[in-house]
Amino acid sequence: MSVEPFDAVDVIRAKRDGGAVPEPALRWMVDAYTRGYVSDAQMASFAMAIYQRGMARDEIRVLTDAMIDSGERMSFAGLSKPTVDKHSTGGVGDKITLPLAPLVASFGVAVPQLSGRGLGHTGGTLDKLEAIPGWRAALSNDEMFAQLDGDVGAVICAAGSGLAPADKKLYALRDVTGTVDSIPLIASSIMSKKIAEGTGALVLDVKFGSGAFMQDYAMARELAETMVALGTDSGVKTSALLTDMNVPLGLTIGNANEVRESVEVLAGGGPADVRELTIALAQEMLALAGLPDADVAGALDDGRAMDSWRKMIAAQGGDPDAALPVARETHVVTAPVSGVMSKLEGLPFGIAAWRLGAGRARAEDPVIHSAGIDLHAKPGDAVVAGQPLFTLAAEDAARFPRALEALEGAWEIDAEAAPGAHAPGPLVRERITG
């Protein structure tokens, strides 16, 4: 039996007492936890010490590197075109990946979008796409490379279990120990997977506001700067956009209804905010891939992006023309007075959609693709008493009372305001580069 070079208790104490953990000890801690030598209890204690004491930039780099080294590294060096990926920190109604990946691919750039499933109030990209009959998330590496190098150019699929297994194990532990919202732990979790994935460039959509993971702007900015530095230090061209998630994105929250809205954007229409953010992120991705002057809006308007979407969906077994699921039951909430919508908070609407069945409380729970919320007004819109404000959809009407309970106090109408008052500020607040 080999002798371990460090003791977990010493590593925990070093961080608990506010010190920096030496690189060899930190690398050992991650490796020993992945191997099962360091227990869940010890790693939970270490994660809490990081949560309370933080980490220096160099420590975060070593932690990220150690998590990458726990598994395989992919490489797209053999592709005939540049690669660029996007990661969003998640929010309510955030369906941007769906129109974005085929839009960028329509310019001859490969988009390997390894995505996840939703948990709690934030929806998962794979859950949304699985509303399309026949579409499959699980692809082999060979299938993924063929799709990227061929005329499709974009892949949205599940990440393989071989990428950063230390992160998968640690993330599950953080979820049940109250250590999720720590910048060193979030940054190393996201970036270990993205760097291991092997993309040449990466754009981060870091959200702030009531419907975001990081509600505080300053913390969201610190997270963006940390992740951009990690990517840059690893040789991945990385930039970030800080985007507003105080109000849900678009007019749909759910799965099938978000796919419908994404297709509207790909057809040159859709809500203004979804189109705006899709274009902004596409321009950023294409600039990093060496195409700074690409006419992104033109590709949405002339059908090129839609062609890419149809190829991408069909390549993964989906029928782009198939009818999407529609819920059996609906409940419409109407305006009690005339005026201007003055408030529509992201988080409560995300929770309400989750309670309708659009999300899951546990990783093993199923998702109801037809469930969700359609919004008929956003802040700044004039409304008339009696008009529909939003429609709740579920397979079982018994879900409506708890969903409505989540929405109490989450929206308001200002009866005195002039039209246009209370309109939200700019969607993209800041750009962070290396």
Per-residue pLDDT of the chain (434 residues; tens, 9 = 90+): 678 999 999 999 999 999 999 999 999 999 999 999 999 999 999 999 999 999 999 999 999 999 999 999 999 988 999 999 999 998 899 999 999 999 999 999 999 998 877 656 667 899 999 999 999 999 998 999 999 999 999 999 988 778 899 998 998 888 788 888 899 999 999 999 999 999 999 999 999 998 888 889 999 999 999 999 999 999 999 999 999 999 999 999 999 999 999 999 999 999 999 999 999 999 999 999 999 999 999 999 999 999 999 999 999 999 999 999 999 999 999 999 999 999 999 999 999 999 999 987 776 778 999 999 999 999 999 999 999 999 999 999 999 999 999 999 999 999 998 877 888 889 999 999 98
| Residue 75 counted as domain residue | no
In a shared domain, residues 218 and 355: no
What residues have CB less than 8 Å from 184, skipping those under 6 apart? 50, 54, 55, 59, 60, 63, 226
Q: Of the listed 15, 87, 168, 311, which one is catalytic?
A: 87
Domain match, 34 and 182 both: no
Domain encompassing residue 29: 8-54
189 given a catalytic annotation: yes
Q: Which of 95, 193, 275, 310 is catalytic?
A: 193
123 with 91: CB under 8 angstroms?
no
Q: Identify the pLDDT of residue 1.
A: 63
From 61, 117, 168, 174, the catalytic residue: 174
Identify whether 376 is a catalytic site residue: no
Specify whether 224 is located in the same domain as 354.
Answer: no
CA–CA separation, 84 vs 104, rounded Å?
A: 9
Provide the CATH number for the domain around residue 35: 1.20.970.10
Domain membership of residue 96 (yes or no) is yes
87 among known catalytic residues: yes
| Residue type present at position 72 | E
Which residues lie closer than 8 Å to 156 by C-beta, 6 or more apart? 97, 98, 101, 113, 115, 125, 126, 129, 137, 312, 316
Exactly one of 127, 167, 205, 273 is catalytic; which is it? 167
Alpha-carbon torsion, ordered 421, 424, 426, 431, to 10 deg:
160
Going edge to edge, which strands form the sheet with 329-334? 252-254, 372-375, 388-394, 329-334
Tens-digit pLDDT profile for residues 50-99: 999 999 999 999 999 999 999 999 999 889 999 999 999 988 999 999 99
220 & 306 share domain: yes
Asked, for residue 62, whether it belongs to a domain, the answer is no
Which of 118, 155, 112, 161 has the alpha carbon at shortest distance from 136? 155
Q: Which residue among 189, 192, 234, 308 is the active-site one?
A: 189
13 and 142 fall within a common domain: no
Residues 411-421: tens digit of each pLDDT: 999 999 887 78
The number of beta carbons lying within 10 Å of the beta carbon of residue 110 is 26
